[in-house]
Structure 1
Amino acid sequence: MKIFKEDQPDILTVSKRIRLIKFREIIPEAFAWYQDRETLRLVDGPDRRPYDRETLSRMYRVLGKMGELYYIEYQAADHFYPIGDVTLALHDLPIVIGDPACRGKGIGSQVINALVERATRQGLKHLYVREIYDYNIASQKLFLKYGFRREGKTKLGHAYHLVISS
């Protein structure tokens, strides 16, 4: 979905080794991410069953309608490979580092920083995260680091809000 005057870029460079690629189709790696029980616990809550192809397709359709949907790619050796997904939307900023080997390496931090900068350049005054579960300490720390504030209790966690200063 187009949420800014400027079109969503095909490639958004985050750093020398990280880039965001505009979502066009479901890739095999994405299906694998949403089969992983720990990934599902972090993004969908406890006891979530692995996604079938229809559930994954429906999720990406919804995210694509909400805002700018990207795959996160990380460079290892001489090529980039997909490790997760992220959506920059007006009312949510969901990020998934689907490759467990890439968690805890600062990739999510760099991606959020780049998207906050993009939102700022595009004139947004606020960013929101619909929910981060109370047990997902890494995500809480990530968003708090960029100035998001805990706001509003949800069933399993809290919503977060960032006021963007111009």
Structure 2
Amino acid sequence: MASIKWRTLATDLLGKRTQPSIESSFQRNGSKGIRISEKIRLLPFDKFRQESLKWYQDPESMYHIVGIKSTYTKKQIQQMYEWQNEHGLLYYIEYNNESHYQIIGDVWLAEDDYAIVIDQAFRNRHIGRSVTKYFIYKSKKLGREFITVSEIFNWNKASQKMFASLKFYPFKENEDSWSYRRRLKRLGTRKENSK
């Protein structure tokens, strides 16, 4: 299956919606949240939340997400979220900032793509790393052979470094980006060591 470039879906969503629906193999846990750490938890997507305007309407963030300094409208974000939610697992990332949780990003896992966005004000706190480690585990649990990031732009050195530290490797060169992948060992299987 070809990689889904979710970051550009907001602009060509109507064309994508005419394609046959892909049945998701994910088991959904209803509205149950997932605790990643004392400070980080995942909230299953339920509706558009205003907080997402902060990162999808920031040209600097969008430069790292879609490769150009642009912004998404509220309608484009809603359409993107609806499409992602139909084709994978979509969560808001919540962070406990001293006394309360607030939404500071989103994360999406599909069969052939993984994407994570963190608000600029909350970067460099290892939030993306912690969330990605959980989704590596989740992908193993689902019996996946790989977890794939369809596009990391050449200038997004922080994302390249983070994914490389989690044993992702570049495997496909695009015009101004690379696709990254991590091979997974399925849970419940043992690798025989021969000495």
Q: Give the TM-score of the pair, scaled to structure 1.
A: 0.92
Do residues 154 (structure 1) and 177 (structure 2) align? no
Query: What CA RMSD, in Å, does the superposition of the two structures yield over aligned residues?
Result: 1.4
Instruction: State the secondary structure of the residue aligned to 1:94.
Output: strand
CA-CA distance at 1:2 after TM superposition = 4.3
In the alignment, structure 1 segments of 5+ residues that lack a partner are none
Report the counterpart of residue 65 of structure 2 in structure 1.
43
Structure 1 runs (4+) deviating above 4 angstroms are: none
1:1-166 to structure 2, matched below 5 A, reads 2-4=24-26, 6-8=27-29, 10-47=32-69, 49-97=70-118, 99-166=119-186
Percent identity at matched positions?
32
Distance 1:146 1:121 in 2: 17
- Tell me the number of residue pairs that the alignment of Structure 1 and Structure 2 aligns: 163
CA contact (8 A) 1:73 1:83 kept: yes
Q: Mark the structure with the bigger radius of gyration.
A: 2
CA contact (8 A) 1:70 1:87 kept: yes
Q: Give the TM-score of the pair, scaled to structure 2.
A: 0.79
Distance 1:11 1:93 in 2: 19
Higher strand share: 1
CA contact (8 A) 1:3 1:89 kept: no
Distance 1:93 1:60 in 2: 14
CA contact (8 A) 1:71 1:86 kept: yes
Aligned letter for 2:143? G
Aligned letter for 2:103? P
